[in-house]
Structures are given as C-alpha cells and as structure tokens.
Structure 1
Amino acid sequence: MSVLELREEGSIAWLTMNRPERLNALNAELVQALRDYFLGLSARSSARVVVLQGAGRAFCAGLDLKDHAAGSETRSVPEVLEQQKGIRDIMLAMRRCPQPIISLVQGAASGGGFGLALASDIRLATPDARMNAAFIRIGLSACDVGVSYFLPRMVGSSVAAEYLLTGRFMDAQRAQALGLVSRVAPLAELQAEAQALADDMLHATPLGLRLTKDALGFAVDAPSMEAVIAMEDRNQVLCTQTADFREGMQAFLDKRPPHYLGR
C-alpha cells in the first residue's frame, strides 16, 4: 500500500496522504514521497491543479514521533539537519511549483501537517478541523517548516504569536473567521468545492494560472506597490504573446469553453 496515493482526473491531481492508522503522520517514507512529488512538478506536468488531502479522520498529525525516535540518539547533527531539510523542502517545493494547491483539512493538522496546510494556496476545512504548531509542545521551537513565515502574513502578528507561543489548537470556525480557510463544510462538500475551484482555475490559460500563483507569492514580500505593479505588467505582456491568449479571447467572444494547448 502506497503512503501517498495519486489519482489524476484530467488536469487535476488528487493527492492523498495514506497512513490513516497513524493519522497520516510524517514518517520517512511519506516525507520522501511528498518531497519527490512536489519537486517533480513543472510547467510540463500533466496536472495543472493539485488537491491535497489525508485518508481517514485526519489531514496530517505532524511528525511520526515513533518513527523519528528510532535511532535518534545515534544521529549526528549533520544527519539531523539533513532530515530537517528533507521535511522543509516539501513546503518550499509546494510554493515553487507552478500548480495551485488546494488542501482539504480534515481533523488534525498539527506540526508538519499545519505546515503543509499553510504552504497550500487554498485551505478548505471540515467542522472538526484543528490546527496547531505542535512543535513547541514537544520541546522544540514553534517556528518550523515555514509556519512562522506563513502564519503572521495570513492572520497578523498578534494572532500568530498567540498560537505559536502556546501551541494552542485553532478550530475551523476561528480559522475561517481569520481568513485562514476559505470554507468550512463536511468533507464530501469540500471535495465537491475543490473540484469546482479546480474547474474554474482550468478556465485560465496554463501560463496565466502559473504567473498568477507566482505573483501572489512574490507580492507578499514585495518592497513596494510599484514593484508589484511592474511584475503584473510583465505578466500581462507575457500572456498576450501566447496562442492560448488568442484562443481564450476568441472562446469568450464565441461563448464557448476554451481549448488551451499550452502555447
């Protein structure tokens, strides 16, 4: 049984973490599978949108402490650093890949699971979803795998400090009130909403979708409005030079679905 199941339906990839008996906790095998998948995505991949979810009653409970503890006393500092980089590389790859990522957060999203949710572009949550920076509750800093980068930018510094300094759980209702998740509903409804969101994204040209994700990511750290607008200007000019742009314009005028070729 694979710890990471992939199902592609057209241009949509449904990616399921599949260790339900361990609440999809991150063991070495799952870390490697997630890392390889997201690092392997490119503009030429068959998938244009990724939906990430967990099998069973949890999204991801974070690092599998039983797996991590095995042999941990004999690991050197360089070995532990390489392990740490292996996990953080997942989040970096999620932000760098051209595909928008929709996460369906069901049940626990703790520690590394919280990081996976935050590294996604869109988060949808079930009513029982609970997210926290669990690292601080097991003798570590709460600032790990990008969480201290993403959370203050998404919910503000005071709220981020509240959850990072305490390790408290954020429930789905507060996450929605803070704008951290876009919708709270039962899982079946979230899966239908993820499908609808992905379908809408596929109305964009491949280049337009890719550059939009890029620009949203860069705009967060841009030094000025002028820098953001300069990036937007570049993106628009690039898009107008493609055959897909001409197809999109014609399809709009003809009132028909566009047929994009990625050119």
Structure 2
Amino acid sequence: MSAANATTLPLSDFKPEHFELSVAGKLATVTLNRPEKKNPLTFESYRELTDFFLAAQKEEEVKAIVVTGAGGNFSSGGDVFEIIGPLVAMETKDLLKFTRMTGELVKAMRACPQPVIAAIDGICAGAGAIMAMASDIRLGTTDAKIAFLFNRVGLAGCDMGACAMLPRIIGQGRAAELLYTGRVLRGEEAERWGFLNRLVAKEAVLAEAQALAAELADGPTFANAMTKRMLEMEWAMSVETAIEAEAVAQALCMQTEDFARAYHAFAAKQKPVFEGN
C-alpha cells in the first residue's frame, strides 16, 4: 500500500499486509504479528506502519491507538536476516535512505493526533523499544524485557530519536546507561524508572491498554490531540514561549462544544458526554 493511498483511506479500510489491524469504533489496535520470530520488523513493515500512522493523521473516527505484539512478545526489532544482513552490503547513500525511513515511523507516530498506547510483554528490543518509546503511554508486564541494543551490533545509541526522547522519559543518566550498554530493562525496573506507566498482569496487558485507550477515546479528543501536540512542540521552547503557546492552545479548546458540554453537565450534576468537537 502506497503512502499516497494510505493517507486518504479511513483506517477501517486500511488493509495491512505486514501487521494485523483491528478497528472497533473509536479504537484501533495494531498487532505486530510474526510470533515465530518475536515480531521483528522488515523493510516492508516499517513502510506500512509509517503509512498507517500517516493515515491516522487524517482519520476522524478513530480516536486512540493501541500497539502490541503477538505470541507473548512485543517486538525483537529489525529482522537480523531481512534487514541487518542487507544493510551490511549497502553503500552510504542507501544506508541513509534506510535510517531516514525508520525515523519517519517515529515522526508519524508522534504527529498523529490520537494517543498511542503500547501494551508490552516479553521482548521489546531495538526498533521495538523505539516504537514503545514513541508511544504516548506504555503499559507492561513483569516479563517485559526492554533493550535499546544498538551498541550490541556496533551502532550508536542515537537511533530513530532515542537520544532526544528517551532522556525526557527516564532522565539523562538512565538513558545514557541503556544506550551505552544495550542492557535489558526488565518490567519492574522499567516501571520504577518511568518508562512503563504501570505494570499489568500478563494475561490482562492488552485489555488494560485497550480499556485506557477507550477511556481516552471517549474524552475530549480535540483537547487530547492538542495536549499531544503541545507536549511535542514544547520540547524546543523556553518556558515563557511555552506558556504563551499554551494560552493560545487553551483558548482554542475553550471554543469547542466539548468545553460547553462539560460546563452544562457539571451544572446539571451529570457526567459529560464528549463528542470530539
């Protein structure tokens, strides 16, 4: 599926070949589905996942997205034989095309207005750890094994935005340790460090992620999208600039019907029913 076609299709009509997609009402669930190899990514799945998140930027019905993996693992990262092997034989210009392509996936995940929630169990390594990092919220199990293992294969830790994003999630020193050593961050430690928002029982992690996503999807989704956008934009702002930007953003949210709905519901001692406008 080409990016041009993907960005014009509603997500309910998106038919991926390299991962599973289910759309139920306001919620889309992306499942990395090569369980026999711990759900590695390929050149094709990188492109198709990027197309999906680009399409999500123009989607009006789906309000939240869950990303998970099949068979008890999230993702083992780039496939050793289908990606890493061919990369060894490439010239610099083709390698740069590849690294830019992988970065486009993170950009697309961060740019889509929907909150993205990762449900993490088992192996979550390399590019899989990056996809988890690029999600807005991460739920995981005690069996989760998160590893930014780029230096284990002779590469720098600065992959797909890791040196920019990971320190903002867990702190500079902890991020440096993981990116220099490539060591495994297990579930309980990942939760203590703030990489995982919370730990969930193995059998419930996907359901918990979907329940949280459904809760967000039923919320004021225009405002949620604004929150996501401002979280992204304010990384590069001074505090003074951020305060002004938030003033403008909040004034826009105050013009929505959801803001008025919340007031009228509060006045009537009722729970507001948000519609995303």
User: What secondary structure, in the 3-state scheme, does the structure 1 residue paired with 2:21 have?
Assistant: strand
User: What secondary structure, in the 3-state scheme, does the structure 1 residue paired with 2:48 have?
Assistant: helix
Is 1:196 paired with 2:208? no
Cα 1:72/1:57, change in 2 over 3 Å: same
Q: Determine which of 225, 229, 245 is the counterpart of 2:259.
A: 245
Corresponding position of 1:31:
46
Q: TM-score, normalised by structure 1?
A: 0.92
Is 1:99 paired with 2:128? no
CA contact (8 A) 1:115 1:147 kept: yes
Mapping 1:100-179, distance limit 5 Å: 100-179=115-194
Corresponding position of 1:234:
248
- Quote how far apart the aligned CAs of 1:164 are: 1.0
- Quote how far apart the aligned CAs of 1:70 are: 5.0
Cα distance in 1, alignment partners of residues 26 and 262 from structure 2: 17
User: What secondary structure, in the 3-state scheme, does the structure 1 residue paired with 2:49 have?
Assistant: helix
- Quote how far apart the aligned CAs of 1:221 are: 3.3
User: What secondary structure, in the 3-state scheme, does the structure 1 residue paired with 2:195 have?
Assistant: coil
Q: Where in structure 2 are there 5+ consecutive unaligned residues?
A: 1-15
- Quote how far apart the aligned CAs of 1:144 are: 0.5
Q: Deviations over 1:41-90 (max 9, x none)?
A: 12543211000001112101111010024544553322221111111110
Count how many residue pairs are aligned between Structure 1 and Structure 2. Answer: 261
Amino acid at match of 2:202: L
Is 1:47 paired with 2:47? no
CA contact (8 A) 1:205 1:248 kept: no
Cα 1:141/1:70, change in 2 over 3 Å: closer
Q: TM-score, normalised by structure 2?
A: 0.88
Is 1:217 paired with 2:236? no
- Quote how far apart the aligned CAs of 1:228 are: 2.1
- Quote how far apart the aligned CAs of 1:108 are: 1.0
- Quote how far apart the aligned CAs of 1:209 are: 1.0
Cα 1:139/1:48, change in 2 over 3 Å: same
Identity over aligned pairs, percent: 34
Q: Where in structure 1 are there 5+ consecutive unaligned residues?
A: none
Amino acid at match of 2:74: F
Deviates more, 1:183-192 or 1:93-102: 183-192
Cα distance in 2, alignment partners of residues 27 and 222 from structure 1: 35
Q: Determine which of 59, 81, 102 is the counterpart of 2:74.
A: 59
- Quote how far apart the aligned CAs of 1:181 are: 0.6
Corresponding position of 1:22:
37
Amino acid at match of 2:145: R
User: What secondary structure, in the 3-state scheme, does the structure 2 residue paired with 1:142 have?
Assistant: coil
CA contact (8 A) 2:220 2:274 kept: no
- Quote how far apart the aligned CAs of 1:245 are: 2.5
Cα 1:178/1:74, change in 2 over 3 Å: closer
Two-structure CA RMSD over aligned residues (Å): 1.9
Is 1:5 paired with 2:20? yes
User: What secondary structure, in the 3-state scheme, does the structure 2 residue paired with 1:177 have?
Assistant: helix
Q: Deviations over 1:142-200 (max 9, x none)?
A: 22011111111111111111111111111111111111111112233222322332233
Cα 1:2/1:187, change in 2 over 3 Å: farther
Cα distance in 2, alignment partners of residues 94 and 120 from structure 1: 7
CA contact (8 A) 1:114 1:147 kept: no
CA contact (8 A) 1:3 1:30 kept: yes
Amino acid at match of 1:231: A
Deviates more, 1:69-78 or 1:174-183: 69-78
